[in-house]
């Protein structure tokens, strides 16, 4: 029973980050607002593109690890990559975003990733 939950959550988390990456590439202004820090209309869009590529790459790598290396490799990946949403929490707070978005989206994501890592280590 634990294996499908652990794998299912890992797949879901990786697909979600792929979707976020694609959104930053396709609709950078809307994605930035959803992230918690609105981008300036005439700002440097390169940084939004970088975020999109980063997130897309993390999602693809996570799925590849799950398929080709197994649950423990994916668990270690989750433990390392959890630094991204933790960092995102601080970025949102430091740049005028709301606590609701910082904690409700980014910190909550980090907690779910840590839970998923524990589940993956347990199988």
Q: In the prediction, which pLDDT does 42 show?
A: 85
Q: How far apart are CA 21 and CA 89, in angstroms?
A: 17
Q: In the prediction, which pLDDT does 73 show?
A: 98
pLDDT in tens, 53-93: 999 999 999 999 999 999 999 999 999 999 999 999 999 99
More confident residue, 44 or 68: 68
Confidence of residue 44 (pLDDT cuts 50, 70, 90): confident
For residues 98-119, average pLDDT: 98
Q: How far apart are CA 71 and CA 118, in angstroms?
A: 10
Domain map of the chain by residue range?
2-122
Q: In the prediction, which pLDDT does 47 show?
A: 92
Confidence of residue 41 (pLDDT cuts 50, 70, 90): confident
Backbone φ, ψ for residue 38 (5° rounding): -65, 140
């Amino acid at each position: 029973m634990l294996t499908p939950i652990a794998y299912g959550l890992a797949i879901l988390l990786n697909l979600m980050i792929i979707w976020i990456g694609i959104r930053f590439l396709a609709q950078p202004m809307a994605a930035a607002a959803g992230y918690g820090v609105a981008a300036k209309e005439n700002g440097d869009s390169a940084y939004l593109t970088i975020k999109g590529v980063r997130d897309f790459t993390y999602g693809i790598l996570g799925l590849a690890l799950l398929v080709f290396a197994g649950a423990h490799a994916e668990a270690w990946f989750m433990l390392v990559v959890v630094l991204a949403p933790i960092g995102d929490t601080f970025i949102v707070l430091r740049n005028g975003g709301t606590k609701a978005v910082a904690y409700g989206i980014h910190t909550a994501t980090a907690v779910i990733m840590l839970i998923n890592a524990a589940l993956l280590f347990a199988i």
